[in-house]
Every structure is written in structure tokens, then in C-alpha cells.
Structure 1
Amino acid sequence: MSTLAITCIVLSACSSHYQMPTALKQQTLNSDTTPESWSIGAQKSKNLISEGTFQELNDDQIRQLVNRALSNNLQLQQQNDSLKIKEQAVIASGSNLWPSLEAGLTTGRSKSVNPSSISNKFDADITLRYELDLWQKLAASDKKANLEYLAEQALFEEAKQALIANVVLAWFDVIEANKLLSLYSQRIENAKQNLSIIESGYQQGLNGALDVYLARNELHSEESRLALQQTTQSTAIRALERLIGEYPAALLEVNANIPTFKSSLDIGIPSELIKKKPSLKASWYQLMAKDAGLAFAHKQRFPSFVLSASTGDSAARFSELFSASGLAWNLVGNLTAPLFEGGRIKANERSAEFQLQQAEKKYLDDIYSAFENVENTLSAQRSLVVRYESTKQAMENAVAAEKLAFEQYQSGLVTYTTVLDAQSRAFDAQSSLIQIKKQRAANRIQLQLQLGTAFIETNNNTSTGDTNND
């Protein structure tokens, strides 16, 4: 009667089976939720940025910095270690599908009272165990480990591409800091010349004391800006040094211009982003790993069937072990099924189900976040083009106005406050042009990263980029 009851419970457990939710059978979003094109719109071109990024930067130093970062960056090395850990987990999980072979050796020494004697005993055995994966329970566990490894692999690729982009962006920051520092130094020299001219005019009775004080104040203000910019420059250099895995001593020298990318960028369509962006691939693999984890948790209800075969021997002397006459062996088939676990199996399955739902929502959220980032960067790209051209014209006008204002001041046509106002406008326009040019170049690199277009490092010294000075 008890055997019949156990059989009924086992068959009942096996009759229920897990089915993947319909939503998870679709790797990409459907046409109703994925737009056919980016809302901002852009022209396509065969000149992909991935084929010429480093050539267009037109500097061998950035190639060297990127290679040093890929070799020495500590965060990327940590990500690589995580990948190796997942790889070992795959090996460990896959080993459950193979038979296990164990050997044991036991020694003992005992004393008997009547008759009084001391005896030795040696036991040795070899056991072979193999679990038949009738319900694909072990296969589900192995699938989960493999999917987690693929997710970690995609995250490592994303981290590598992000590191390359961050090195380039940090390099841009240093160039910007250098350009602004040079501008501030030039402004100090101009302020000194103006002060010298005004003091000379004051001594000749051509200028008032107020003009002298205003000119001195302008010089001190420029010196303050220079000191602050020197700190900004050091900070930018240290950030770049940390990315390439070196001590942040602010000793790295960068002598380059901010690039102007000339090639067009093929931004593709939103659905392509899901397939090629590493972080979205990782999110999808994580989702499928949770699905496999739910399948494994559900199949814990099913019975396990283990075959074991062992052979062994006992002897009073070690040399007599495994003698042909003393060998013993047995073959056992073991069928076990959970009957009462206090709700543990059900709770684990429900937990795995909630984790799957959480991963599904995260995957959808990651997709829309990726779409949002691309749309925002495309909008910024269009805005930066307009701002750059407008600021460039404004700078040319402001510099001409500054020169004209000082000439008119020397002729007595305007006051020195007019000169200071013109100088301030010229300074703002010049610094803004440098900053916008850097933002425009940085936006291009960020767009490439967000589109999932791989950066290609190259040792080719042939460059086709912009060589004009700022």
C-alpha cells in the first residue's frame, strides 16, 4: 500500500510541467513598441565611425593610451575576473551531467580483551555515481550557468567599449583644459599690455586714475582664472592617468587639437540597436538565465534517479587490499522524490518566478533607456552643430569688437568700461567655442557607444582627420 502511495505522488509531480511565458519567447520587441526610425532623423552613410574613429582623431597618442587602458585598467581587469568566475561556474555546472568517480581509504587499529590482541584493518573502495537527467533538471541548471556566462561576456564587451570611449573623452577633457589654459595665459598678456599703455597714458595726463584701477583689476581677475584653470587641467590629466592604469601624478603631456569628425555616422534603426548593443545582449541573456533558473526550481519537485556502482575490499594488511579473492562489488539504483519539505520547494519556485518577472521588466526598461539615450544624443548633436557655427561667428565679431573698442579708447571716443565689456564678450566667445567644439566631438563618441558600434583600435598611422588648429 505504501509503495502505491509513493508511486502516485511521483507520477503526480511529473504530470505538471513548466511552460515559458509567451512574452519571453520573443527576443525583440514587436513592431507596435519598436519605432521604425529614430524620431530625430539622420542621414545614413557608408562611412561608419567604427572604420575610422582613431584615424579621424589624427593622433598616435590616443591609440597608445587606449591600448594601455585595455591592458592596465583595474576596473576592466575586475570585469575580466568576473568573466573567468562565470566560466568556471559553467565548467562546474556541466560536470553534473557526467558520472562522478570517488575513491576512499580507511585505516583502523583495535584491541580485543579476550583473547587479548591488537589488529589492523584497511578498507578501500571505489564508487561510480551517475544521475540520470530524466526531467532535464541538470540540463536546466547547466543552461542557466551558460546563459549567465554569455551575459557576463556581453558585459565585459560593453565595459571594454565604455573604457575606450571614456579614455577618448578624458583625452578631450585634457585638450580642452590645455586650450583654455593657453587662452587664459594669452588674456593675461593682453591685460598686462593694456595696463602698461593705460599707466603710461595716466602719467602723461591722458587717462584718469579710474582707468588704471580698472585695468589692474582686470589683470588680477585673469590671473585668478589662470590659477583655477591650472587646477582643472591637473584634475583632467589625473582622470586620464587613472583610466590607463597609472598613478595620478598629473604628469601626462597631451599636445593635440580637438578633432572635427568629417565622416557621417550610420545610426541604423532602433530594432538593430537591440541586436548589437552589448549591454542589451547581456540583459537578454540575464533574462533567459532567470527563465532557466525557474525551470530548474520547478523540476526540484521531480524524483531523482541515481545509479551507483562500487567495489572495495577489507584486509588486515595494506598490501592485501584489492586481491582477486577479496574484492566485493555492488550496483544500486536509487530513486528519491521529495514528499514533505515544509513549503521550501514551492517557495523557491515562486521566488524564481518573481526573479524572472523582475528580469523581464528590467530588460524592457534597459531597451527604452537605450532608445532614450540615443534620441537625446541625436538631439544634442543637431543642437551642437548650430551652436558651434553661431558661436564661431560670435567669436569673430567679439574679437573684432574688442580690438576696435581699445583703438577707440586710445582715441578718446569711448570709456574704458566699454573696452572691458568688449574684452569680456570676446573672452566668453573664445572659451565657449573651445567648449562647444569639445562637446561636439564628445557627443560623437558617446553616440557611437550608445549605438553599440564597436570601436576599432588600429596601429595604422595613416590619418584622414581634421588637422586645422583651433
Structure 2
Amino acid sequence: MRQRLKVLSVLLSCILLSACNTATYKLEESLLKVHVPKNWENHVQLEDVKNGWLMQISNDQIQSLVQTALNNNFTLKQQAYSLQMKKQELIISGNTLWPSLDLALSSNRRKNISPNSYINNVSVDLNIKYEIDLWGKLSDFDKQANLSYLSDQANFEQGKQQLVADVVIAWFKVIEAKQLTNLYQQRADNTKQNLDIIESGYQQGLNSALDVYLSRNELNSELSRAAEQKATKIEAIRTLELLLGNYPQGALSIEASLPLLSSDIPKGLPSGLIARKPKLVASWYQLLAKDASLAYAHKQRFPSISLMASVGNSASELSDVVSISALGWSLLGNLTMPIFNAGKLEANEEKSRLLLKQSEQGYLETLHNAFLDVENAVTLESSLKQRYQMMLAAQENAIAAQRLSFENYHNGLVDYTTVLDAQSRSFDAQSTLIQIKSQLIRNRIELHIALGGDFSASEQNKEAK
């Protein structure tokens, strides 16, 4: 008997030592040596990124609309509820580190073989079970849940920032659509005035019938564009209303103009983006959670030790059961180790390892896409500013050419097709100028999001709503 116990002890020691010496997977070296440029391409920026970009828009309406969206947006509310559920899952996962305590009360009555004889039995048991976290397996499971919660929390913060950006962009989109609608209607009114002049000249024999037909065709085209643009404006308003959590009835009134952005914003350094942008933080936490999941899957193959204790008694009467003097107790230690499961645990570990490798590549992709967004936004801003200056000069020339062409036509120096061409160039220049200003604003907001700048500098607004 002693020899058997000695062999069993040696076998158990070998198992425990092999479990302790088994190495877990380490993160790829490329994650620790990611090439991060010292500065953005062709841009020297030493000043850190500043938060509170929303406050730079000095308009009370947009400040109110943003707050309404943060309180009422349907998608953000879903994300908030999802985050709350993750928090409850975190409590559930932490439960494995604590002992479980159960109270069992049972009562039964059965008839004996002899007639009119019954046996009553009442039992009360208090059971305690606790698994010793010998290898840190339960800690890894809890660590995975904590990291997953931190990842979801960062994603929720990113969702808030994106919502604010979407609301502000949609607000400026309505302003753009409104200005284009006014421009289209103004052009239609000008075309109507030209038509009246041409028809009057035709009745006096000064203009040809072709000029009348061309002018009428131009008027119908402009009226059609104006009607289409009005529909576009209403659609833009409805999009904004939906972001606010309101019914999209297209009745929101906005009185504002498109500002011209001429100043630059501090872009910080690329290395600061990694810790500042919530989307990157979420991706990193998710990667660490996969690493903890792999450690948990690996330690599932180790022996587990649990302790069980029970205090209770059984008797025919409840008063006898709860008597302290009659209580009995038991204590049991349990050691279990998987021996054969057709490769299930090994396959689970390999699956977790592959998921970790996949997450590594996902994080690298997210990181480089974040750099890409910043570089593209910076390049586009520079291009838009140049285009605006050139189009501003083009607009002045086109308006002057339009006015001069109609005067020359009225004096019989040019035909009406020249007038139509000048009007088209003038209209294109004016509408393009409005669109470029809107693109500059949109790109600036997207650059703030790409840089990880928070919309508010207040710590209160950083709390999950």
C-alpha cells in the first residue's frame, strides 16, 4: 500500500512540475516593434492635440443638438445597454474566484410496508465549494473578462465621439443644402428675368425665336434643379433628426452659414495616437483579452483542486434537524485532471492561439488604418484650401463674365449660346465654392476624430451616459 502511494505521489509530482514548466504563447515581436514615424509626412507639429474641438463652433443650436443626440440617439443607447451587460458579465466571471455557498432543504414522506405506517425524513445541508486557483487559470478567465470590458468601454467612447462628429457634419450638410437651394432658386429667378427680356425683344423683332426657346429650356432646367435641391435639403434635415433620436419629419429649422476654415489644428505626434484614440485602445485591450483567453485554454489541461465542505443533518422532525448538537459535517478535497478527451482541450488551445494571432494582425491593421486616416485628412485639407483659393478667383471671373456676356448679347455683339455658357460657368463656380467650404469642415471634423481628439474637454462628458 505504501509503495502504491509512493508511486502515485511521484506521478502527481511529475504532472504538477510539467504543468508549471509549460510555457504560454507570447505576443508577436512585431507588436512591440511597430514602426511609428517620428512625425506626420511633410508636417512638423510639436504641439499636442487639444480636446474640446466642439466648443470652437460658436453656435448654441449645435451645442444643444449634440447634447440631444448623446441623450436620445438609438444606436448609442444600444451600445450603452451592451456595455452594461458586459459589466454584469464581469461580475459573473469574477464569481469563479470566490467560494460558492448553497443551502439545501429537503423533506419527504413515504409509506412503510406495514399498514398505516409512514416514515418522515427532513434534511438540511449547507454546502461550500471552492476551487483553488493553483495555476492562475481562474485569474486568467477573470482577466479576460476585465480586458474585454475595457475594450467595450473604449469602443463606447469611440461611438460617442463618432456620433458627435456625425451630428455636426449632418448639421453643416443641412446648411450646405440650404445655401445651394438658395443659389439654385436665385439662378432660376435670374433666368426668368432673362427670359422676360428676351421675349420682349422677340416681340419687338430684336431677338430670334431660337433665343426664346433656349431661354425657356434653361428656365425649366433651373426650376427642375431647384426642386431637386429642395428635396435634398429636406433629406439632409431628416438625417440629422434621426441622429437626434427624433421622428424624421424634415421640419428642423437651421439658421447658420458655412464658416471658412483657414487655420491649422495641432496634430501632435504619431506615437501619441496609439494611447489617445479610443478605437486603438479598444483594439489593444481586445488583443490582451485574447492573450488571457489563450492562457486560460492552456491551463484547462492542468489538474484542478477543489475543496468541498458540508454541514447538515437529517431527522424525522425539523426541530431535530436544526439542533446544533445533532449537526454533522464533512470535508472533502478533490483533485481532477483530464486524461483523455479526444484532443478537445488541445484543439481549444490551438483555436485560442489562432484567435490571438488573428487579433494581432487586426490590431496592426487598425493601427495603420489610423495613421492612414490622419495622413489622408491632412493631405486633403491642404488640397481643399488650395482649391478654395483658386475657385474663389474663378467665381469672381465667372460672375463678371456672366454679367458682361448678357450685356454684349443685349447689344447684339454675341449670340445667346455664349450667355448660356457664361451662366453655366458662373453657377458651377458658385456651387463648387459652397461645396468646398463644406468639404473643408467635414474633413476638419474627421481629422479631429482621426487624431483621437475628444469633442469636449470636460471630464463630466467623458462619463458613459
TM range, normalised to the smaller chain?
over 0.9
Q: Which amino acid is 1:338 matched to?
A: P
Which residue of the partner structure matches residue 465 of structure 1?
Answer: none
Question: Counterparts of 1:40-439 in structure 2 under 5 Å?
Answer: 40-44=42-46, 50-51=51-52, 53-114=53-114, 116-439=116-439
- Count of residue correspondences: 453
CA 1:204/1:402 → structure 2, altered by over 3 Å: closer, same or farther?
Answer: same
- CA offsets per residue over residues 293-328 of structure 1, 9 Å max, x none? 000001111111111211111122233321123211
Q: Which amino acid is 1:98 matched to?
A: W
- Structure 1 window deviating more from structure 2 (150-159 vs 84-93): it is 84-93
Cα distance in 2 for partners of 1:419, 1:14 equals: 88
- Structure 1 window deviating more from structure 2 (14-23 vs 222-231): it is 14-23
Cα distance in 2 for partners of 1:44, 1:121 equals: 81
The answer on 1:39 being equivalent to 2:44 is no
Cα distance in 1 for partners of 2:166, 2:32 equals: 29
- CA offsets per residue over residues 150-179 of structure 1, 9 Å max, x none? 100110010000000011111111111000
Cα distance in 2 for partners of 1:248, 1:195 equals: 39
CA contact (8 A) 1:40 1:375 kept: no
Cα distance in 1 for partners of 2:254, 2:131 equals: 63
CA contact (8 A) 2:25 2:353 kept: no
Cα distance in 2 for partners of 1:96, 1:368 equals: 38
Post-superposition offset of 1:45? 5.1
Cα distance in 2 for partners of 1:338, 1:54 equals: 58
Cα distance in 2 for partners of 1:55, 1:316 equals: 76
Secondary structure of the 2:326 match is: coil
- Structure 1 window deviating more from structure 2 (112-121 vs 338-347): it is 112-121
Which residue of the partner structure matches residue 461 of structure 1?
Answer: none
Q: Which amino acid is 2:399 matched to?
A: V
- CA offsets per residue over residues 202-221 of structure 1, 9 Å max, x none? 11111111111111111000
Q: Which amino acid is 1:165 matched to?
A: A
Cα distance in 2 for partners of 1:70, 1:27 equals: 35
Q: Which amino acid is 1:41 matched to?
A: H
Cα distance in 2 for partners of 1:398, 1:125 equals: 93
- CA offsets per residue over residues 418-441 of structure 1, 9 Å max, x none? 110000000000000000000011
CA contact (8 A) 2:51 2:457 kept: no
Post-superposition offset of 1:4? 5.0
CA contact (8 A) 1:45 1:265 kept: no
Q: Which amino acid is 1:433 matched to?
A: L
Q: Which amino acid is 1:124 matched to?
A: V
CA 1:420/1:182 → structure 2, altered by over 3 Å: closer, same or farther?
Answer: same
Cα distance in 2 for partners of 1:12, 1:50 equals: 53
TM-score when normalising by structure 1: 0.92
- Structure 1 window deviating more from structure 2 (261-270 vs 400-409): it is 261-270
Which residue of the partner structure matches residue 17 of structure 1?
Answer: 22
Task: Return 5+ residue gaps in structure 2 as ranges.
Answer: 459-465
CA contact (8 A) 1:56 1:261 kept: no
- Structure 1 window deviating more from structure 2 (280-289 vs 303-312): it is 303-312
CA 1:196/1:49 → structure 2, altered by over 3 Å: closer, same or farther?
Answer: farther
- CA offsets per residue over residues 36-81 of structure 1, 9 Å max, x none? 11114155557x6634x33432211111111011001111111111
Secondary structure of the 1:101 match is: strand
Q: Which amino acid is 1:125 matched to?
A: D
- CA offsets per residue over residues 249-274 of structure 1, 9 Å max, x none? 11111111112235431111211111
CA contact (8 A) 2:40 2:375 kept: yes
- CA offsets per residue over residues 62-120 of structure 1, 9 Å max, x none? 11111011001111111111211211111111111111111011111100113641122
Task: Return 5+ residue gaps in structure 1 as ranges.
Answer: 459-470
Secondary structure of the 1:325 match is: helix
TM-score when normalising by structure 2: 0.93
**Identical pairs, percent:** 49
CA 1:44/1:430 → structure 2, altered by over 3 Å: closer, same or farther?
Answer: farther
Secondary structure of the 2:114 match is: coil
Secondary structure of the 2:79 match is: helix
- CA offsets per residue over residues 228-268 of structure 1, 9 Å max, x none? 11121111111111111111111111111112235431111
RMSD: 1.8
Q: Which amino acid is 1:143 matched to?
A: K
